[in-house]
Amino acid sequence: FSSQQRSAVAQPDRLYFSRPSRGNEPVSKMPIIRNMDCTDPMRNLWRNADAVCFDVDSTVIMDEAIDEMAKFCGKGEAVAALTKEAMKGSMNFREALAMRLNIIKPSVSQIKSFLQNEPARLSPRIKELVEELHKRRIPVYLISGGFRVLIQPIAQELNIPIQNVYANRLKFYFNGEYAGFDEDEPTSRQGGKGDVIKMLKKTHRYNTVVLIGDGATDLEACPPADAFIGFGGNVVREEVRARAKWFVSDFKELIDAL
């Protein structure tokens, strides 16, 4: 690219497309897994939450979006191996993010095509859970190490305000080629989810924030989250199952506990 191209970077945030109806998603047959010793105090925190934060990949949706995008771009195997290491917590998050993106190098046109042809699959009952929280006037946030451009359509489908989405921004040159990611976003660094939750508590004066997620980066965000609920409905990460005080494999358990 010319120096002018390299110095001028576009950062589109919103690439919205209509999402085709997928019908009823299959309900997971996985048995509900619980760590019962601390369930009752955890249930009290859950019922009295001032705000609920969700991870997105393998929690709100059934897949890891970066892996699915990598497959779509023909780079699936190499990226999936790095994602697995990142989710276990064995790699620095920002380093793993940069390595995966440098393999994929997604262009604007590839992202548009991916969103149109491979819409995210919502996890069973997540829509009902978010609806129940909204009925109780409990704010819902999406906090992800993934990408805003992929998550914003999911937020729209769940009626979550776009301003309640905290995720990474991709950068592109004016010709649409990949140019990097915004390293100023807290979600691009290790411990970034915790930093977002600290900010939310300070800004909105929330006393009790509950975080729900499947990975090590979610687990490490409690504290500052007041409670962490591990989710294994799509994939079970052994460290999370072992360390979470409440671990569920079906969102119905959380709906019933409200």
55 has catalytic annotation: yes
Ranges of H-type helices in the chain? 3-7, 39-47, 65-72, 76-88, 93-104, 108-117, 126-135, 148-157, 192-204, 216-219, 238-243, 251-257
Contact assessment for residue 93 and residue 192, using Cβ atoms and an 8 Å cutoff: yes
182 has catalytic annotation: no
- Residue 195 corresponds to which tokens in the numbers above? 């930093």
In 10 A of CB 129, how many CB atoms?
Answer: 23
Catalytic residue among 13, 37, 50, 57: 57
Catalytic residue among 55, 214, 218, 250: 55
How far apart CA 138 and CA 125 sit, in angstroms, is: 17
In 10 A of CB 1, how many CB atoms?
Answer: 12
Active site residues: 55, 57
